[in-house]
Structure 1
Amino acid sequence: MSIEPTAARATAAAALLARVERIPLTRYHLRVASILGVGTFFDSFDALILSVALTAVLTTLGAPLSVAGTLIAVGYVGQIAGAILFGVISERYGRKAAFVAASALFGLLALASAIAWNVESLMAFRLIQGIGLGAEVPVAATIFNEFVRARARGRIVLVYESLFVWGILGATLVGALFLSVFPPEDAWRWLFVISGVPVLTAVWAHFRLPESPRHLIHRGDLEAATEIVEAMEASARRGGRILEEPHKPADLRPEPPTRFGELLSRDYRGRTLALWCIWFTTFLPLGGFTSWMPTLLVRVGHLTPAVASLLTGGIVVGNLVALYVSASSLDKLGRRFWFAAGYGLALAGSIGGVLLGATGWVALFVCGALVLFGVNINAPLAYLYTAELYPTRMRAWATMVGSTMRNLASVIAPITIGLLLGAAAGVVWSFALTAAVLLIGLLVMLRFGIETKQRPLEELAK
């Protein structure tokens, strides 16, 4: 619970925040990012592994194809519950505690999934695993945001978030390798064993991950926060980095205890609803086309599975290029510009898919790639942007609840697009639905989006 500071402690807390804002990127930041990044990488790795090895899983467990959608969706249901549960834990007991617990739960249940004996047991393991999986990336994004100064926060955090896309690429490559080297009935089990790495990350984080200094300041533990800030400054000096004189400390108002309904209070309702719309309209196209693109290239484009997999891997590489281009100018051009660019690029692909009818694999590939390039700019940006728009007392909670829109979209998208594809001209209707969703997101961002570039978190929260 937040401890209301005296005037002297409030001044000391404000001075500490001013010191955080003068520290450039150091080895200390890289250590934090490396610990958190393992979780971010394996979040997407694990999510895609099931899709990559789905046929082998169903064959081994003697399950029909009809249960595939439920098997995939059950993990996202767990993620919705996990985001809410660990959102509370993160605000009550700290970011570090939430990250360690989520990583341990995620990793242990991945290992349990490797020994599943039937599809029912695998569903149960994936449901529980989703509770940890749904918390890991949002809480990691919150922690890293709170360590980085305003001047370069967009570029640094977005490059860190690119590990999520690397996880997708890793799952594609490692999955293909294991399925070609091991018998199918063994390959998927070994893939889940690899997904259990976050168990080790939890141990590593317990001993080496520092608590967010901003969270410590909010809780009134200025001594622990000072120790962390001094370690960050020492790391900068050892690296030969120049520490500027601290800016004039901001007016730090005492923060009340976290009130979880405050997201929809008068002060934050507009931000919250706009962000939920951005999350949903970004991840519905992302979830749909990520799940169905390889199948579309085979069924509609009449390509072989090997060629379809290769082209899908090419799209992931393109996603990384688009993400790094946006990160390089995010702190100059701003969040609103790149959200609009991401929506615009994805919208162009969707409209192209409608007009061209996605006839032939070339049109399908180009239009689908444009959709994925665009939404893969906006997806990591959503984590950064959400964490910027709320005060410390509710930053993790807001990011966690926002991410439930991602999970909801990830449940709805594959099912909806799958139903559309069963109809005549189903590909056209899929692109039309995507276009409508993206247009809504673009209009909401242009109307209600707040520019956050190079502004301290405490200033943005007011």
Structure 2
Amino acid sequence: MAKEQYITANRASGPNSNTKTEPLVKVIAAIATLGGLLFGYDTGVISGALLFMGDELHLTPFTTGLVTSSLLFGAAFGALFSGHFAAAVGRRKIIITLAIIFAMGSIGTALAPDVEWMIFFRVVLGVAVGGASATVPVYIAEIAPANKRGQLVTIQELMIVSGQMLAYISNAGFNAAWGGHDTWRWMLFVATVPAVLLWFGMMFMPDTPRWYAMKGRLAEARKVLERTRAKEDVEWELEEITETLEEEDRQQTRSSVRELRKPWLFKLFLIGVGIAVIQQTSGVNTIMYYAPTMLKAVGMSTDAALFATIANGAISVIMTFVGIWLLGRIGRRTLVKIGQFGCTACLFFIGAVSYFMPETINGEVDVLRSYMVLLGMLMFLSFQQGALSPVTWLLLSEIFPTRLRGVFMGGAVFAMWIANFLISLAFPLLLASVGLSGAFFIFGLIGVCGALFVIKCVPETRNRSLEQIEHYLHDWLSNDEDTATLAPAKHKAESH
């Protein structure tokens, strides 16, 4: 505590400061989050491409689920391996490698002659998507100043939803201009452009000061801080980083999963896994991947379903801006609660609309029903992208110790992608067996369980540097009296 008070008293632009962000930090965030743009485009483009590749690739409900979910299976392992290697070779080199894999996967899916090759290259693409989801937030969190970390890390989520919106616009545009049956390959190929830009841009970016310090390269850590911090801030932040790493050395903390044998780290890892998984069990990606399919199932035409899906992308982008604004004003824990409770209510709304409203009136398709389902989707995405998704990526980039951040982040995001994979694989079968209403009622019940987890387990990390968060969570989870309720109503972080 004395150390924290000393740092707090002597910092110039700490977590509570209004100091402006250095230009290089903004450039780094813009380039690195091209990985998020690719993440969004490659996960979103399949929603429209599925409507047109089915005949050529002879897709069944099962292989449709495989084509969609194979990317997510690859993403799980991409997150796991990139987390390990990011600690060994650096965050920057991993992102450069992922850019190459993005390009290979995009070209491969565009040229796939049959469903087997499509699934293979979707897995390859997934490795890049998962690696980017685990590495880019950590890279930005470690290179950003504490007072701007929330907003800068959340740019990743903004780029993800922007990529999804671009995918929806691309799908509708190709269909309107040339007809989707002949152009779905171009829909998939377009992703090579931001992949090349990501590779080229990251060649000129530095690695993070915390990674350099972790490797004992303090001179390089200082150089990065001098380029990304106000002059008077360099010394205290470098001292804070080195003192925390020295303390980890005394505790014999290493970047290995064997550290899970320590009770407080095991509890922290489980909290991280829980935060990651509840973002997926809301069913968000069934909406992002299958929205046109669902809207066609409730009566919309193909053209109307593709056009309406653009609204999903647009509301996601708009609400992510709202989320970035909120992160600068309210706590992480509060925002998770708003997102989780709101999403769960919307799931029950969609289920109720599709169950109680008639499919036809006087022999005609009830158009109002399809637009009420679309309204439910838009309300859901407002809570998901305006609250739950941005704060999920931010919390995951903040809560793990420096030496373990890459490994633990990879493990948590691995769990996220496995959950996403299972849900996306099962959804077409769920839709065929219990219908749209049954599927969303099931997601709603899972959402209630997620809300209980949020109330009990999600911590507050706002207004702390990464090193202060590490000390705080160590004390918190090591105290037997506090472990019964891991998220007390009033956190010390709010008073700093």
Identity of counterpart residues, as a percentage? 20
Inter-partner Cα distance in structure 2 for 1:264 and 1:80: 23
Contact conserved, 1:351 with 1:431, CA < 8 A, in 2? Answer: yes
Question: How many residues are treated as equivalent by the alignment?
Answer: 439
Give 1:453 deviation, angstroms: 0.6
* Rounded Cα–Cα distance in structure 2 between residues aligned with 1:98 and 1:110: 18
2:102 aligns with 106
Q: Which amino acid aligns with 1:413?
A: I
Q: CA deviation at 1:273?
A: 1.6
Task: Give the conservation status (yes or no) of the 8 Å contact 1:111–1:193.
Answer: yes
Rounded to whole Å, the distance in 2 between the matches of 1:225 and 1:19 is 19
Deviations 1:258-314 (A, max 9, x none): 1223246311222222222222221131122223332222222x2222223333222
Which SS does the other structure have where 1:81 is aligned? helix
Match of 2:166 in 1: 170
Q: Which residue of 1 aligns with 2:176?
A: 180
Could you tell me whether the CA contact under 8 Å between 1:274 and 1:445 is conserved in 2?
no
What letter matches 1:167 in structure 2? G
- List per-residue Cα deviations over 1:125-176 (Å, max 9, x = no partner): 2222222221012201110011122223212322342110001100000122
Once residues 415 and 133 of structure 1 are traced to their aligned partners in structure 2, the CA distance between those partners, rounded to angstroms, is 17
The one of 213, 216, 228 aligned to 1:217: 213
- Residues 1:265 and 1:371: Cα distance change in structure 2 (over 3 Å): farther
- Asked if the contact 2:71/2:126 (under 8 Å) is kept, the reply is yes
Contact 1:37-1:163 at 8 Å conserved across structures: yes
* Match of residue 397, structure 2, among 380, 387, 392: 387
Match of 1:293 in 2: 291
- Tell me whether 18-27 or 283-292 shows the greater mean CA deviation: 18-27
Using a 3 Å threshold, how does the CA distance of structure 1 residues 443 and 391 change in structure 2: closer, same or farther?
same
1:55 aligns with 2:51: yes
Shift of the 263–200 alpha-carbon distance from structure 1 to 2, 3 Å rule, reads farther
Q: Is the 8 A contact 2:29 2:152 kept in 1?
A: no
Residues 244 and 414 (structure 1 numbering): CA distance in 2 closer, same or farther, change over 3 Å? closer
Instruction: Report the equivalent of 2:418.
Output: 408
1:345 corresponding residue in structure 2: 342
Residues 275 and 402 of structure 1 are in contact (CA less than 8 Å); yes or no, is this contact kept in structure 2?
Answer: yes
Q: Distance in 1 between matches of 2:411 and 2:404?
A: 10
Q: How far apart, in 2, do the equivalents of 1:223 and 1:244 lie?
A: 16
Residue aligning to 2:363: none
CA distance in 2, matches of 1:77, 1:335: 29
Confirm or deny: 8 A CA contact 2:96 2:203 kept in the other structure: no
Alignment of 1:417 onto 2:427:
yes
Contact 1:75 1:129 in 2 (8 A): yes
Q: Deviations over 1:327-350 (max 9, x none)?
A: 212133110111000011112212
Distance 2:11 2:133 in 1: 27
- Quick check: 1:113–1:189 contact (8 Å CA) kept in 2? yes
CA positional deviation for 1:28: 0.4
Deviates more, 1:388-397 or 1:57-66: 57-66
* Pair 1:442–1:95, CA change in 2 (3 A): same
Asked whether 1:161 is paired with 2:151, we answer no
Separation (CA, whole Å) in 2 of partners of 1:257 and 1:147: 21
Say if 2:131 is the partner of 1:121.
Answer: no
Other-structure match for 1:3: none
Deviation of 1:50 after TM superposition, in Å, equals 2.3
Cα RMSD for the two superposed structures: 2.6
Structure 1 residue 450 and structure 2 residue 446: aligned?
Answer: no
162-171 or 436-445, which moves further after superposition?
436-445
Retained in 2: the 8 A contact 1:151–1:331? no
Unaligned runs of 5+ in 2: 1-6, 358-368, 472-496
